[in-house]
Chain A
Amino acid sequence: MAAHRSCVLWSYCGRRWSWVMRCYELPGLRSAWAGGQLGARQLSQKKQATETHFGFETVSEEEKGGKVYHVFESVAKKYDVMNDMMSLGIHRIWKDLLLWKMRPFPGTQLLDVAGGTGLAWVLGDAEELPFDDDKFDVYTVAFGIRNVTHIDQALQEAHRVLKPGGRFLCLEFSQVNNPLISRLYDLYSFQVIPVLGEVIAGDWKSYQYLVESIRQFPPQEEFKEMIEDAGFEKVTYESLTSGIVAIHSGFKL
């Protein structure tokens, strides 16, 4: 079953991290993006240097991209092991739920951003995708959009490359809605996760950045508004595991 195969691909999702997008079709049609059909995109001028957050640190926007890159360069080797250890394997359930929501079928043109490894991949920038307009049926991003310097631009790009009728799906850490669980979650995040990172991967700071970046990401309602601002309609979200993660969905109509 197509969805099952996608699930299998998902489980290899983070094996090797890079700013990579995965563009693949489910069995049925041959790949439609070979070679020069993508259409080159001109890189825009460098943006004005303003300040933004890197976890709880304040950095310039120019710096942030590089710092995030180094974080993921550093965690790449033990990425899967750490994901399993930190979430006790629950991240696989979250990703399965995302796929279930998507219900892809043969012929779906799917773009998965920040996906790690996959069938056919393209190196690019989420804020400036190297694809033409109105190309994909579904755009997904799982645990990636949080690390983008300009989330609004990534959302606008998502809107641009989707076909009319296309769907945007985002799986991301969000805000916990239960005060007791929130306290336990904070405790676990800040006391245990960096320790796990140090003991298993020998890298405290990357995992400190991870838990801090989660806190810096907007909560469900605010992110929903950001998606609507980018032009998506019928935007909904579903919180999972008391709001530890949320799946946001929007349509380009």
Chain B
Amino acid sequence: MGHLGFLLLLGDRALSWACYEFSPSETLQSAPRPERFAVSARRFSRVPAAMATLLRAALRPLRPPPGHREPAADVRLRGARRGTGLLYPEHIPTSPLQKVLLAAGSAGMALYNPYRHDMVAVLGETTGHRALKVLRDQMKRDPEGAQILQERPRILLSTLDLDKLRSLPEGSLGQEYLRFLDVNRVSPDTRAPTRFVDDEELAYVIQRYREVHDMLHTLLGMPTNMLGEIVVKWFEAVQTGLPMCLLGALFGPIRLRTQHLPLLVSELIPWAVQSGRRAPCVLNLYYEQRWEQPLRALREELGITEPPMPSGPWPRP
């Protein structure tokens, strides 16, 4: 009976830890705790209505002046009103158990339905903690990367000067990026905001990674169909080490038509891996200051060679 009791106690402690949610400032808890509430349940108040949050995000460019951290002040304001625990506006604190469940669920759903980009994002957030720390430290060591971390630029339609980009010379990064958006009919604003990362700076790093993803498509010359996405994932896996990229690179081909596999395996993946190894960390590039740079020159700087093109037109997904 003694051993059983000990095991039960251990199990109970483990369960409590697994279900306990991260809270940076416990003492400031202001939300009342309902009586009927078990220990494993949430203690925080919830983020305000989705509409209000979206409106705020749309109206406020996340570019605080150097030295002044606007997002933190915003969190304090929300904290005072709604209870603390939110490190950034979209933050949803999650327990270790929830992260495991989310990771497993999002991985399965992303494989089942590759059009669920939000699931790929969630997978990245829930599994990327270690890799994001490494990336953040790498950015801090690089002067351009450190500037990005300091200034926190965002690639959104609201922050891009589209007219200026269109007026840039042919072959420049800005022009090619716009062309990529037009040809593939995508917009930088479709990126979901980070929610499940429990560190405000790392949340920005993953957000930056997501926004740079389109840049990588432009740099590598890959379209946004399944094949192109897998190639970019291989490049990103080598570059960032994010588990989500590794998983996507390894398991993505399952969803690919078998006729494309030979091209992928023999030409595209080796090229992507080599380019990823040669290039410095792509998150250290301040793209917003490089719009005028010719794409060819940027590719040379990074050591990215021309992509191996198939003999016919690009295969349909």
Contact = CB atoms under 8 A, between A and B. Distances in A.
Interface stretch (B40-48, B175-183, B254-262, B295-303): B40-48
A99 B42 CA distance: 34
Contact of A57 (B40, B45, B108): B45
A183 B11 CA distance: 13
Q: Which of B41, B44, B97 has the most CB of A within 10 A?
A: B41
Interface string A209-235: 100100110010000000000000000
B46 A191 contact: no
A244 to B, nearest CB: 13
A92 B262 CA distance: 49
Interface stretch (B29-37, B139-147, B277-285): B29-37
B105 interface: yes
A202 interface: yes
| Chain B interface size range | 20 to 34
Contact of B46 (A70, A192, A209, A219): A209
A168 to B, nearest CB: 24
Given A175-B36, A189-B41, A198-B102, A205 B47 contact: yes
Nearest to B118: A202
Contacts of B102: 195, 198-199
Interface string A167-198: 00000000100000011001101111011101
B156 interface: no
Interface string B96-127: 01100110011011000000101100100000
B36 A190 contact: no
A190 to B, nearest CB: 4
Nearest to A208: B46
Interface of A: 54-58, 67, 70, 74, 175, 182-183, 186-187, 189-192, 194-196, 198-200, 202, 204-205, 208-209, 212, 215-216, 219
Q: 9 tightest A-B contacts by CB?
A: A186-B38, A199-B105, A190-B41, A195-B101, A57-B45, A57-B46, A187-B40, A199-B109, A191-B97
